[in-house]
Structure 1
């Protein structure tokens, strides 16, 4: 009875520990937050479609694509929110589901993992137990040989492998090909795809690790007031630790592969030959396309990792050189001192409104620019003489008024909104064909302010916009390409801050 009670008590403790673990993951996991988001199906569909062929997409293209999808769903009555595409993307970046780098948008390791989990729910019997068992058996055999300290035993095991290979050669030479069955072909090639599909996730984990390492290094320099030499040593140690992680070792392994031209060429040709076999029919078109471009995609991912590493190193160097490290430490010291006083007040139950003669050693205020000073109003010394008051003219001369043109930006915004509602989304250059600019550069500036205020989608390149002027020749202005839609505008156009 006592034994049974102790077993039940042990199960309860295990349950409590597991419950605490999953509760923490529920609250902290970025992947889990995506999967349980109210619009998770919409977000995952956006990710799967946008990054089907490219691992990086220009920010402007992503906004334009999402804007079209939202508009299509609104027309079908499937979407009621008036939130802009840009706002959605910024929110997803903030939540850790997308990453923006050099105006390029890419998935994070969390979104990649969430997408893989969701897709696996729709795939039945992608790999069989037999296929998994074969991989486990081969891995156990190879690892056992490599870990065995007995050299003679390792040599004997390698001889067994050599004999097995020789027997297979003899069978093939005698005409016994031992072709795989249709079921075995399906299992093997799907297992190959399953293993290849997680490689890009490893690269994203390396990227996340690099960013985390940069943040920790900054925090360490603040807390310890480290010297430049110690910061460099710490960074090298963290780089070494990063290489030891699973994702880091996967990256280093593939980088060694792409540095070897012969191995890369061989790997690419082997994939090409595999996709030419009848077994390739067991993969979908998207899966075959992924395998075909695997080496290219991984090479691009490797290049991106080195760019991020280089940027992280420059970021650390600039951070140390800027002096922000010492400033942040000084602020943290003052805040820490204030926290100690606050705890002491709480322990002695001192009322909040009690006046205290407390001084914090926060240093002297330094003024480096007149703009940072609050200057006193100058006191003018008036001579003791008589003044004659002259009333200023309250109206402008008609000749002056003829040269002044008032531009009503909100009126222009209403005209643009009507054009977009009637003709659909278009760029500023196209808009000016319906709402021409007649009052010079001031009106052109109003167009640009409207595009910025409604968070129009900024596309790559530039476009020419015709700016007409009164009594002067028209101008051709080169401007960035902004694509506007009626959905960018708020319901109350007067609320636009122009």
Structure 2
């Protein structure tokens, strides 16, 4: 985009980020939204909670600046910030509730990120950025090279470097990063982690814009002769496929598949615990939320996935409504025919009223008729009835075990209240199997029908339980992960 005078003048008038920077109460808006949404990484907040937080902020400011500093109420300010001419907040109603929610817009988050970059930093690292740029260029060069000899030579070179490093470590010379290099790389990681959380809001915004366009077209579609329902659906599904197959959609899908791996999450947790425990990193006083930043990524990705699910639900409702309307039109036509027939019953018109030509002649050859087949005679056994053994224990008929799937599902939901996901092994550790193999099969059946369950075939998990006869039993199965929606 060219930053000429006309473009910048138009952006100054219409772009929400620029309007925020030149607003009269920009310090209040920016500081409050950063403290409430950005710092704790809150995706959305109920209106009552947000009004309460803004009331506390306004009270402190009025104590310092006077009662006339900000005369309006907190709710008026929030509605003004969410108005179309501002566009700093998004006010919406989640499905199934009548309480409004507020969330940041991508433009507001970009403005807050730019304001945060204006602050002076005591340490500015450049080595990690150069290494990142070099690694990206190397990946692009190697990923597009079609010469097998060049690829093999590069792999041999990399293997020789690894062998030399192994020999150096075995010889007692282990190169370590100094404090400056650690601080440099940690600042780069923190910056990229925050930028990634901001990118999710923009991805979700793009999906939401597509959902809005779909709703508008469905609401305005009248089913006229110029455009049939099939043409509308092809257009809508084509746009959705275009979003999914775009560079942004493919990158988001690859990121989601990478992060959904339980092994990757455990590896990220172990790496974060190790790095945050280092003394040079601790001296930087990092944010405590960095320890679970990968779970914040997962939660932000779920919001984008939920937006896509709402788009699919809207298409399904459109199909159901149109099918109902078509059935209703057919019934109206049938009732009209019946009413017309009743009206003509006493005075039928002369001549032939209506006729239907035969579709094809009904020809039935004599040899096509089936021959007579007599019924088979039933042989009855007139042997006397033998008396059975009355000493059989019938208690086994009344000792059947019934597994309560509702209780198991409640246990899964209770475990997901405090965490983003939980594996089947962790569930059984918190609540061991009481009914043996039947209860384990019930857990697997719940995972097979639940949309928020994932099966990792690459990782095997062993579970143990005690049978009714006191024998310890075990089973090895792929890892099953339940994810919070």
Corresponding position of 2:233: 232
Given the two structures, how large is their TM-score scaled by the length of structure 2? 0.58
Distance in 1 (CA, whole Å) between partners of 2:233 and 2:284 is 48
Partner of 1:81, secondary structure, is: coil
Corresponding position of 2:296: 297
Corresponding position of 1:177: 174
Shift in alpha-carbon separation, 1:191–1:316, aligned structure 2, 3 A: same
C-alpha deviations, 1:17-40, integer Å up to 9, x for none?
633332333233222222222211
Partner of 1:80, secondary structure, is: coil
Q: Shift of the alpha carbon at 1:146?
A: 0.5
Partner of 2:102, secondary structure, is: strand
C-alpha deviations, 1:38-78, integer Å up to 9, x for none?
21111111112212224132221110110121122223235
Corresponding position of 1:213: 210
Among residues 47, 71, 87, which one is paired with 2:76 in the alignment? Answer: 87
Distance in 2 (CA, whole Å) between partners of 1:254 and 1:124 is 31
Corresponding position of 2:8: 22
Corresponding position of 1:96: 87
Shift in alpha-carbon separation, 1:275–1:226, aligned structure 2, 3 A: farther
Distance in 2 (CA, whole Å) between partners of 1:92 and 1:319 is 33
Shift in alpha-carbon separation, 1:123–1:168, aligned structure 2, 3 A: farther
Shift in alpha-carbon separation, 1:254–1:104, aligned structure 2, 3 A: farther
Distance in 2 (CA, whole Å) between partners of 1:283 and 1:248 is 36
Contact kept in structure 1, 2:126 and 2:184, CA below 8 Å = no
Shift in alpha-carbon separation, 1:248–1:202, aligned structure 2, 3 A: farther
Contact kept in structure 2, 1:189 and 1:282, CA below 8 Å = no
Distance in 2 (CA, whole Å) between partners of 1:209 and 1:115 is 20
Structure 2 runs not aligned, ≥5 long? 95-99, 323-485
Contact kept in structure 2, 1:257 and 1:263, CA below 8 Å = yes
Corresponding position of 1:58: 46
- Shifted more, 47-56 versus 308-317: the winner is 308-317
Q: Shift of the alpha carbon at 1:208?
A: 0.9
Distance in 2 (CA, whole Å) between partners of 1:263 and 1:228 is 44
Q: Shift of the alpha carbon at 1:243?
A: 3.4
Corresponding position of 1:42: 28
**What pairs up with 1:224-263 in 2 under 5 angstroms?**
226-245=227-246, 247-263=248-264
Distance in 2 (CA, whole Å) between partners of 1:272 and 1:236 is 44
Q: Shift of the alpha carbon at 1:121?
A: 0.8
Q: Shift of the alpha carbon at 1:91?
A: 1.7
Structure 1 runs not aligned, ≥5 long? 1-13, 324-498
Distance in 2 (CA, whole Å) between partners of 1:193 and 1:305 is 22
Contact kept in structure 2, 1:214 and 1:316, CA below 8 Å = no
Distance in 2 (CA, whole Å) between partners of 1:294 and 1:160 is 35
Corresponding position of 1:31: 17
Shift in alpha-carbon separation, 1:217–1:76, aligned structure 2, 3 A: same
Please list every run of at least 4 consecutive aligned residues from structure 1 whose deviation after the TM superposition is greater than 4 angstroms.
218-226, 244-247, 316-323
Contact kept in structure 1, 2:82 and 2:89, CA below 8 Å = yes
**What pairs up with 1:81-230 in 2 under 5 angstroms?**
81-94=70-83, 95-101=86-92, 102=94, 103-124=100-121, 127-218=124-215, 222=220, 226-230=227-231
Number of paired residues?
A: 308
Contact kept in structure 2, 1:98 and 1:107, CA below 8 Å = yes
C-alpha deviations, 1:305-364, integer Å up to 9, x for none?
2222222333455567768xxxxxxxxxxxxxxxxxxxxxxxxxxxxxxxxxxxxxxxxx
Q: Does 1:272 align with 2:273?
A: yes
**What pairs up with 1:353-392 in 2 under 5 angstroms?**
none
Partner of 1:99, secondary structure, is: strand
Shift in alpha-carbon separation, 1:147–1:298, aligned structure 2, 3 A: same
Corresponding position of 1:307: 306
Shift in alpha-carbon separation, 1:163–1:310, aligned structure 2, 3 A: same
Contact kept in structure 2, 1:63 and 1:85, CA below 8 Å = yes
The one of the two structures with greater contact order (alpha-carbon pairs below 8 A, sep at least 6) is: 1
Distance in 2 (CA, whole Å) between partners of 1:64 and 1:250 is 38
Q: Shift of the alpha carbon at 1:168?
A: 1.8
Q: Shift of the alpha carbon at 1:292?
A: 1.0
C-alpha deviations, 1:118-168, integer Å up to 9, x for none?
111114266433322111111111110111121221222222222222222
Larger proportion of helix: 1
Partner of 1:38, secondary structure, is: coil
Distance in 2 (CA, whole Å) between partners of 1:44 and 1:97 is 10
Contact kept in structure 1, 2:200 and 2:300, CA below 8 Å = yes
Partner of 2:90, secondary structure, is: strand
Q: What is the root-mean-square deviation in Å for CA atoms of aligned residues?
A: 2.8
Q: Shift of the alpha carbon at 1:177?
A: 1.8
Shift in alpha-carbon separation, 1:274–1:247, aligned structure 2, 3 A: farther
Shift in alpha-carbon separation, 1:29–1:199, aligned structure 2, 3 A: same
Partner of 1:178, secondary structure, is: coil
Shift in alpha-carbon separation, 1:23–1:245, aligned structure 2, 3 A: farther
